[in-house]
């Protein structure tokens, strides 16, 4: 079923560290998912792409400390577009104490630098509506 899963992956805002996002993009493709990598984008354009692409999953990568401000914004804007069933995931350098706040805001899961690809793909497969 992962052949049908479509992921939109983005670097959130200004964070410059693209290594993790790119490696994950390629690994999810290896798992049979269709992944559109947007590069660095702000919430407005991430949401626009998610709508255009008909994304099942939106992956947001940030190591720059903007997760609490820009992350929830993406969730809100997707809801405004009526896309409340899109699975929104975050990854990067995110302090553990911020994770409950992100989940409360509607981020489905947060993956750290040591998350395994298997964990991430399983999570996606089990949670895509």
Partner 1 sequence: MDENRLYDSEEIKKIKMEKEKWKEQTLRDKAGEKTYYTENGIPIDILYTPEHIADLDYLSDLGFPGQPPYVRGVYPNMYRGRLFTVRQLSGFGGPEDCNRRIKFLLDQGATGINIVFDLPTIRGYDSDDYRAEGNVGICGVAIDSLADMESLFDSIPIDEMTSSVVTHLPSTTVVLLAMYTVMAEKRGVPLEKLGGTTQNDFLMETTIGSAPEIIPPAHSFRLQCDAIEYASKNLPRWNPVSYNGYNLREAGTTAVQEVAIALANCIATAEELIKRGNDIDDFARRLSFFWDLCNDFFEEIAKCRASRKLYQEIISNRFKARNPKSELMRFHVQTAGNTLTAVEPLNNIARSAVQGLAAILGGCQSLHVDSFDEAYSAPTEEAALVSLRTQQILQVETNVVNTVDPLAGSYYVESLTRDIGDKIKDYIDKIESKGGIIAVAESGWLHREISDFAYNQQKQIESGERKIVGVNYFVSDKEEESKIDVFRYPETEEKQKQKLSELRQKRDQEKLEHSLKVLREKCHSDENIMPFVKDAVEAYATLGEIQEIFREEFGLWQFPLV
| Binding residues vs partner 1 (CB under 8 A) | 11, 13-20, 22-27, 37-42, 64-66, 68-70, 93, 95-98, 112-114, 116-118
Class of residue 66 by CB neighbours under 10 A (exposed 0-12, middle 13-18, buried 19+): middle
Q: Specify whether the CB–CB gap between 53 and 25 falls below 8 A.
A: no
User: Half-sphere exposure (CA, 13 Å, Cβ side) for 54?
Assistant: 3
- Taking the least distance from each CB to partner 1, the nearer of 19 and 104 is 19
The token pair that represents 5 in the structure block: 């899963």
- Taking the least distance from each CB to partner 1, the nearer of 65 and 106 is 65
- Taking the least distance from each CB to partner 1, the nearer of 28 and 78 is 28
Q: How far is the CB of 36 from partner 1 (least distance, A)?
A: 9
Q: Specify whether the CB–CB gap between 107 and 88 falls below 8 A.
A: yes
- Taking the least distance from each CB to partner 1, the nearer of 85 and 104 is 104
Class of residue 95 by CB neighbours under 10 A (exposed 0-12, middle 13-18, buried 19+): exposed
Q: How far apart are CA 66 and CA 69, in angstroms?
A: 6
């Amino acid at each position: 079923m992962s052949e049908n899963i479509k992921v939109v992956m983005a670097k959130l805002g200004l964070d410059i560290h693209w290594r993790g996002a790119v490696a994950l993009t390629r690994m999810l493709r290896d798992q049979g998912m269709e992944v559109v990598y947007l590069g660095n984008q702000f919430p407005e354009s991430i949401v626009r792409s998610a709508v255009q692409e008909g994304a099942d999953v939106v992956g947001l990568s940030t190591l720059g400390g903007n997760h609490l401000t820009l992350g929830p914004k993406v969730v809100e804007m997707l809801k405004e577009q009526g896309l409340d069933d899109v699975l929104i995931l975050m990854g990067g350098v995110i302090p553990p104490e911020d994770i409950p706040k992100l989940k409360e805001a509607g981020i489905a899961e947060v993956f750290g630098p040591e998350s395994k690809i298997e964990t991430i793909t399983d999570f996606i497969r089990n949670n895509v509506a």
